[in-house]
Amino acid sequence: MLRLMFVTSSLSPGGAERQTVSLMNRLAERGHECHAVYVKNGDHSQIDRVRVRRGGTVLGLDAGRYFDRRALRHFAAHISRIAPSVIVAANPYALMYSRLALRRAGVRVPLAVTLHMTILQSAKEHLQMLWYRPFFWTANSLIFVCGKQRRYWLRRGVFSRRNQVIHNGVDTDEFCDRWSPEERAALRRALGFRDTDYVIGMSALLRPEKNHVQLVEAIAMLRKMGIPARALMIGDGEMREVIEARARELNVESEVVITGLQQEVRPYIAACDAMALCSFTEAFSLAAVEAMALSKPLVHSDVGGAAEMINPGRNGFLFPVGDTRALVDELAILADRTVEALFSEKTMVDRYEQTLLEICGVRSSAKEAVIY
């Protein structure tokens, strides 16, 4: 049994946080002692999902600024008390806090980091990555979520002692379409959709890089073609007013429905006829795998690891980033048949567990993880 400490910047509904909570919960179910630490307390909407089980703890450091010495002292003391076998940090900010807290605590604990980002969006983010790079170099393991992302960052000097790819996964028992036609129709009616509407869903926080505005523009184009397209945006966020304003400009405000944040997204995905992801940047989208697991036709911008999960024309479609005409052309119905084998949550957890055991020098009968 390992004593594992998982560190995130927050417990917000973001993909990295969701993946970390799912991984931690599954490893706790396998008998490992799991502890959760999140740096900022502002958004901890996922705290109810955390299931650390007996012996586990959940700690919010309540950092009041980017670098908070009080929070760092608190974290170092917590590490000394828990004495983890390994620390798993999600993304650079959590990695920085973990490495500095370990140094302050004066203990030697293996450190793994999962990286859930690819393209940096601003000059500030580029400068931050220059600062973060040495922290990656000292990590025992750097886990990328797709091969394209791994190649991108290795070329830019972001690496650790061990670099590997483990695709994000979803619970395919949980994410399966178990809603009857009557239940699906009832939810569509509750959302204001008609049986004849072509409902295109998008499950993502309303952030700039997710590019929801492009879906609004695609809805307007589809309707001009005589297709009764409507959008169901599952989430909320800073871009909501911008999205609503663009919908008004294009006279499709009544065709765009925004649900707000939802802890349970499955029934909303089930209510859709197809799913779309228009992101400018992604690593390996959990929302995409969830849509595929629910057998929803998926159209995805060709970013990050999208080409590693989608075989165009067979289990989805890819379109060039920002190309709304291509997005419109490729919104079509198809069925996915690859999620269970390739992107199940069990496969992901198996590989993480094997990696963490190896980092700690523990032999396991599990199959050796594939290292890219």
Homologous superfamily of domain range 181-342: Glycogen Phosphorylase B; (3.40.50.2000)
Question: What pLDDT, on a 0 to 100 scale, did the predictor assign at position 271?
Answer: 92
CB-CB contact of 199 with 291 (8 Å):
no
> The domain 3-169+344-359: what is its CATH number?
3.40.50.2000
CB atoms within 10 A of CB 254: 10
The full set of domain ranges for the chain reads: 3-169+344-359, 181-342
Cα–Cα distances in Å, from 113 out to 34, 164, 217?
Answer: 16, 11, 38
Stated pTM of the model: 0.74
Mean pLDDT score across all residues of the chain: 88
Q: What is the pLDDT of residues 279-330, one digit of tens each?
A: 998 988 888 888 888 888 889 999 988 998 888 877 788 999 999 999 988 7
C-alpha to C-alpha distance for 131 and 11, rounded to whole angstroms: 24
C-alpha to C-alpha distance for 162 and 141, rounded to whole angstroms: 5
C-alpha to C-alpha distance for 335 and 365, rounded to whole angstroms: 35
Residue 49 has pLDDT above 80, yes or no: yes
The residues, any chain, with a CB within 8 Å of residue 249's CB and separated by 6 or more, are none
Question: What pLDDT, on a 0 to 100 scale, did the predictor assign at position 341?
Answer: 61
Q: What is the CA radius of gyration of the chain?
A: 21
Asked if domains 3-169+344-359 and 181-342 share a fold, the reply is yes
Question: What pLDDT, on a 0 to 100 scale, did the predictor assign at position 332?
Answer: 42
Q: What is the pLDDT of residues 202-228, one digit of tens each?
A: 999 999 999 999 999 999 999 998 889
Q: pLDDT: is 176 or 257 the higher one?
A: 257
